[in-house]
Each structure stands twice: as C-alpha cells, then as structure tokens.
C-alpha cells in the first residue's frame, strides 16, 4: 500500500514535469482515435446503405 502511494507520488511529479509534452501526446492520441473512429463509422454507414 505504501509502495503504491510512493509510486503515485513519483508519477504525479513526472506528470507535472512533462505536462506539456503529455498534453500534446494526449491530444494527438485522442485526435487519432476520433479520426479513425469517424472513418470506421463512415465506412460502416457506407456498407449499410
């Protein structure tokens, strides 16, 4: 339990240090997922109709 708290503290420090890079990565990742999901939905809609 203590080990988990310690790891979490370190993770928070790391995230704070790299917040901007992580935010950019997250935006790219989410954008990519949304783009692919939209493409997939469009393809499915095209197949159905």
- What are the average pLDDT values for consecutive 10-residue runs of the chain, which has 49 residues? 80 78 86 90 90
| Domain region containing 24 | 19-49
Evaluate whether residue 2 is within a structural domain: no
Domain count along the chain: 1
pLDDT of the residue at 1: 60
DSSP annotation of 4: H
pLDDT of the residue at 43: 92
pLDDT of the residue at 24: 86
Buried b (16+ CB within 10 A) or exposed e, 25-48: eeeeeeeeeeeeeeeeeeeeeeee
Chain CA centroid to CA 40, Å: 19
Evaluate whether residue 49 is within a structural domain: yes
Evaluate whether residue 42 is within a structural domain: yes
Evaluate whether residue 11 is within a structural domain: no
Evaluate whether residue 3 is within a structural domain: no
**pTM for the full predicted model:** 0.45
CA distances from 7 to 3, 14, 37, 43, 48 (A): 6, 10, 34, 43, 48
């Amino acid at each position: 339990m203590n080990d988990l708290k310690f790891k979490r503290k370190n993770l928070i420090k790391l995230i704070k240090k790299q917040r901007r890079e992580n935010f950019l990565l997250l935006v790219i990742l989410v954008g990519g997922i949304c783009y692919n999901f939209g493409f997939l939905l469009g393809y499915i809609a095209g197949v159905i109709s």
